[in-house]
Amino acid sequence: MMTTETSGDVRLTGISKTYGSFTAVHPLDLTVPQGSFFALLGASGCGKTTTLRMIAGLEEPSSGTVHLGDQEVTHLPPYKRPVNTVFQSYALFPHLDIFENVAFGLRRRGVKSVKKQVDEMLDLVQLGEQARKKPHQLSGGQQQRVAVARALINHPKVLLLDEPLGALDLKLRRQMQLELKRIQTEVGITFVHVTHDQEEAMTMADTVAVMNGGRVEQLGSPTDLYENPQTTFVANFLGTSNLIEAEVDTRSGEDVVLKAGGGKLVLPRARCSAPARTGGKVLVGVRPEKISLTHADDAGAIPAGRNRITGKIAHSSFIGVSTQYVVDSAVCPEFEVYAQNIERDSRLVPGADVVLHWSPAHTFGLDAAQDIDAGVETAGEEAA
Amino acid sequence: MATVTEVEAPPLAPGTDPKPPKKRGRLVPYWLLLPGLLWLVIFFALPMIYQASTSVQTGSLEEGYKVTWHFATYWDALTEYWPQFLRSVSYAAAATALCLLLGYPLAYLIAFRAGRWRNLIMILVIAPFFTSFLIRTLAWKTILADSGPVVGALNTLHVLDVTSWLGWTAGDRVLATPLAVVCGLTYNFLPFMILPLYTSLERIDGRLHEAAGDLYARPWTTFRKVTFPLSMPGVVSGTLLTFIPAAGDYVNAELLGSTDTRMIGNVIQTQFLRILDYPTAAALSFILMAAILLMVTVYIRRSGTEDLV
């Protein structure tokens, strides 16, 4: 995934963008290692597209610098940068056929014989048959592949993808995710992918930067972000988290013991991104699929040492592979639990009293005051 | 079965009568077409037929004209007035070219750069229409007057020496020369060039410019390879809307020209209203129409655009 060579790295240093009094991107430092598949993930308006456009040269940064490898490109116009973009709506030239669309970049750089390269590229995206069609004669998925081919044929140092799959339906999107991943592995070019779809970012990217309000909230591998969210935003934006407000009771060795409602919860200190001072507040989080659900009558059978919370099932919905429960408990009114449908307990219906329990190792702690600077350990690891 | 019949009741399309469609309902679109069709029949088809029959009549004003299928009128008209035909086409072509040269940058500016000034500039483009065609053309008489500042400036800069040498002006005068007529035509038909150009340019997705830049096209290359080809429908309809009326125009040549700048429109007007030679006037009209149709067909075929505007 990462090579020691840095000639293809994208380095953003203190880069920011303001429009009048509105700050779209706060000063940001980011390094995308060569050959990686990097995703900028966030809700619309979080600054991810602006960041991408500053790398492409379509937006002039208000401050900071952009480096591609050793070359500073901050003030270079887009046509002088060794990067290419796959635009959100593809932006294929409607008056040119597929062949000419793909050949556009080569021709602009004065390449005389483009036929062989274009044919090869069209084969790579499996569109060899469509070369003489106009873009509007192609389906959305095909147009998307043309847009990728048109950018990739130039062998850019970095390929920028601006929500490239946003216009496709779910099934096609899944298919294209795999396709793009395959192409990236095949050509080995750095991909920077902007998306608001957390599933897309997690399945495709090696490294994900979660952006919120013009800042990077957290950067890391998908597993890292999912298992060890550092902020409530990340915890909630990537999948679902149950967050419980708790008070630090005691600290014993590797663990922190917290009081929540009437009961006690154990949290490994290593998984707490907040300074756990005795008497201080901490947000305790746990993912819905880590939780087991046991009917209150069987509470005695729950192994010792697990975190427990009692509650009453408010809703349950059967979705095939799993059943999703919403449990009303004293510490959290809408506790979500996803239970695999292996052995279904027929007593677990809305209204039933239940005990929720999970391993302390699956618990994470977040600062109740939401200090974003906390927990640089995971992010630092990736950026190195 | 009962449910099936219920389902079969056709869902009502929005805007249709809730009652089951009767014959009358289905005829509504045709009734709506009727006024327009009547208009076309009365004011276009009938006059055309009348003109066509006039063009093959012979006789005199005193004895009256009769249809004698005298097609020789066409040949006579063409041999006598071909210089005016040629002049009309060349003046109209010159005016169209000037309109394109002046109008394209302006339309581009309005479409891509004007920002909040866009509406104001559009109003300024259309503003001349608030006064009559005649008055606007007469105003050019003042602008190009022999003692006016324009002629004075052109004289000082020795521009008139060059244009006189080219045969566009005569001596120290601009009025009553081909240049004046072409200027008048250009001015009067410029909005007809700008509006379709603007519509066509404004419709171009700005991301295509970004995409071209991203694919190593410099701004000028982006214009040549992306913007201009995509604005072709506007160029074609703009040139047609300028060329066709300019070729048949007689007001500009009448007011700003001289006997040496008479266009075919002036000839037709004289034949109809002064000489009262209706067959020749009608034949000239048909020749002009056929010539324009032929040129336009060739032009559209050549430019290869599928849709106008």
Cα dist. A329→A21, A64, A262, A339 in Å?
44, 48, 11, 17
A317 and A270 in a common domain: yes
Average pLDDT over every residue of A116-138: 92
Query: What is the reported pLDDT for B20?
Result: 54
Around Cβ B32, how many Cβ atoms within 10 Å? 9
Q: Residue A267 is inside which H or E element, if any?
A: strand A263-268
A184 and A121 in a common domain: yes
Residues A257-310: tens digit of each pLDDT? 998 877 889 999 888 887 777 888 888 889 999 999 999 998 888 888 899 999
The amino acid that residue A292 corresponds to is S
Residues B79-94: tens digit of each pLDDT? 999 999 999 999 999 9
A240 and A204 in a common domain: no
Residues A91-116: tens digit of each pLDDT? 999 999 999 999 999 999 999 899 99
User: Do A108 and B215 count as a contact with CB atoms less than 8 A apart?
Assistant: yes
Q: What is the CATH number of the domain that holds A156?
A: 3.40.50.300
Least confident window among A4-13, A54-63, B43-52: A4-13
A170 and A76 in a common domain: yes
> What residues form DSSP beta bridges with A366?
A283
List the strands of the sheet with A335-340, edge to edge.
Answer: A292-295, A353-358, A307-318, A322-329, A335-340
Distance from CA of B195 to the nearest CA of A (A): 22
* A158 within domain boundaries: yes
The amino acid that residue A249 corresponds to is D
Interface of B with A in 34-73 (CB under 8 A): none
User: Do A87 and B207 count as a contact with CB atoms less than 8 A apart?
Assistant: yes
Q: Quick check: helix, strand or coil at residue B147?
A: coil
Task: Out of A180, A204, A232, pick the residue that ends a domain.
Answer: A232
* Nearest residue on chain A to B306, alpha-carbon basis: A95
Question: Which region, left, alpha or beta, applies to residue A324 given φ > 0 means left and ψ of -120 to 50 means alpha?
Answer: beta
User: Which CATH architecture does the domain made up of B82-303 adopt?
Assistant: Orthogonal Bundle (1.10)
- Residues of chain A positioned with their CB less than 8 A from the CB of B211: 85, 87, 91-93
Of B210, B218, B221, the CB nearest to A91: B210
A146 and A34 in a common domain: yes
- Greater model confidence, A383 or A121: A121
Among A186, A191, A194, residue whose Cα is nearest residue A210? A194
pLDDT at A4 over 60: no
- Greater model confidence, A330 or B207: B207
Cα dist. B23→A190, B26, B30, B31 in Å?
66, 5, 12, 12
B214 touches chain A (CB under 8 A): yes
Of A58, A94, A154, the CB nearest to B210: A58
Q: Which two tokens stand for residue A64?
A: 């900071």
Phi, psi of A11 (to 5 degrees): -120, 120
Query: What is the reported pLDDT for A330?
Result: 84
Number of domains within chain A: 2
A239 and A211 in a common domain: no
* A288 within domain boundaries: yes
B295-299, Cβ contacts within 8 angstroms, sequence gap of 24 or more: B295/B89, B295/B243, B296/B240, B296/B243, B296/B244, B299/B236, B299/B239, B299/B240
Query: What is the reported pLDDT for B257?
Result: 92
- Give the span between the Cα atoms of A93 and A101, in whole angstroms: 6
User: Do B214 and A93 count as a contact with CB atoms less than 8 A apart?
Assistant: no
* A378 within domain boundaries: no
Average pLDDT over every residue of A242-256: 85
Least confident window among B103-107, B272-276, B305-309: B305-309
- Greater model confidence, A326 or A250: A326
In this predicted complex, what is the ipTM? 0.80
User: Do B216 and A89 count as a contact with CB atoms less than 8 A apart?
Assistant: no
Query: What is the reported pLDDT for A382?
Result: 31
- Residues of chain B positioned with their CB less than 8 A from the CB of A108: 215-217, 221
Average pLDDT, chain B: 88
Query: What is the reported pLDDT for A334?
Result: 83
Query: What is the reported pLDDT for A370?
Result: 60
Q: Residue A217 is inside which H or E element, if any?
A: strand A215-220
A81 and A209 in a common domain: yes
Residue A371 pLDDT level (bands cut at 50, 70, 90): very low
pLDDT at A149 over 90: yes
Q: What is the CATH number of the domain that holds A350?
A: 2.40.50.100
Average pLDDT over every residue of B140-147: 91
* A226 within domain boundaries: yes
Q: Residue A105 is inside which H or E element, if any?
A: helix A98-108
Residue A247 pLDDT level (bands cut at 50, 70, 90): confident
Q: Which domain holds residue A251?
A: 233-367
Least confident window among A87-101, A183-197, A324-338, B13-27: B13-27
* A196 within domain boundaries: yes
A265 and A187 in a common domain: no
User: A262, A309 in Cβ contact below 8 A?
Assistant: no
Which residue out of B214, B231, B306 would a mutagenesis test of the A interface target, given it has the greatest number of A Cβ atoms within 10 Å? B214
* A255 within domain boundaries: yes
User: Do B211 and A95 count as a contact with CB atoms less than 8 A apart?
Assistant: no
Residue A374 pLDDT level (bands cut at 50, 70, 90): very low
Task: Out of A188, A216, A232, pick the residue that ends a domain.
Answer: A232
A225 and A238 in a common domain: no
DSSP per-residue codes, A341-367: SSS--TT-STT-EEEEEE-GGG-EEEE
User: Do B214 and A79 count as a contact with CB atoms less than 8 A apart?
Assistant: yes
User: A58, B214 in Cβ contact below 8 A?
Assistant: yes
List the strands of the sheet with A22-32, edge to edge.
Answer: A22-32, A10-19, A63-68, A71-72
Query: What is the reported pLDDT for A260?
Result: 84
pLDDT at A2 over 50: no
A175 and A42 in a common domain: yes
Average pLDDT over every residue of A344-365: 91
Query: What is the reported pLDDT for A377?
Result: 28
pLDDT at B265 over 90: yes
- Give the span between the Cα atoms of B216 and B210, in whole angstroms: 10
A186 and A302 in a common domain: no
- Give the span between the Cα atoms of A271 and A269, in whole angstroms: 5
User: B90, B178 in Cβ contact below 8 A?
Assistant: no
Cα dist. A126→A94, A144, A194, B286 in Å?
20, 12, 24, 56
Count of CB contacts below 8 A, A vs B? Answer: 59
B221 touches chain A (CB under 8 A): yes
A280 and A293 in a common domain: yes
Q: Quick check: helix, strand or coil at residue A301?
A: helix
Measured at the CA of A88, the angle between CA A83 and CA A92, to 5 degrees, comes to 75
Q: Which two tokens stand for residue B61?
A: 């004003």
Query: What is the reported pLDDT for B254?
Result: 93
User: Do B210 and A87 count as a contact with CB atoms less than 8 A apart?
Assistant: yes
Query: What is the reported pLDDT for A282?
Result: 87
Angle between helices B118-126 and B178-202 (to 10 degrees): 140
Average pLDDT over every residue of B8-20: 48
pLDDT at A171 over 80: yes
Query: Domain extents for chain B?
Result: 82-303
pLDDT at A60 over 80: yes
* A377 within domain boundaries: no
Residues B38-75: tens digit of each pLDDT? 999 999 999 999 999 999 998 887 888 888 888 999 99
Place of tokens 């002046």: B102
Which residues of chain A are at the B interface, by a Cβ-Cβ cutoff of 8 Å? 56-58, 77-79, 83-85, 87-89, 91-95, 104-105, 108-109, 150-151, 154
- Give the span between the Cα atoms of A333 and A316, in whole angstroms: 15
- Residues of chain B positioned with their CB less than 8 A from the CB of A57: 213-214
Task: Out of A232, A266, A288, pick the residue that ends a domain.
Answer: A232
* A104 within domain boundaries: yes
Of A91, A109, A150, the CB nearest to B207: A91
User: A7, A70 in Cβ contact below 8 A?
Assistant: yes
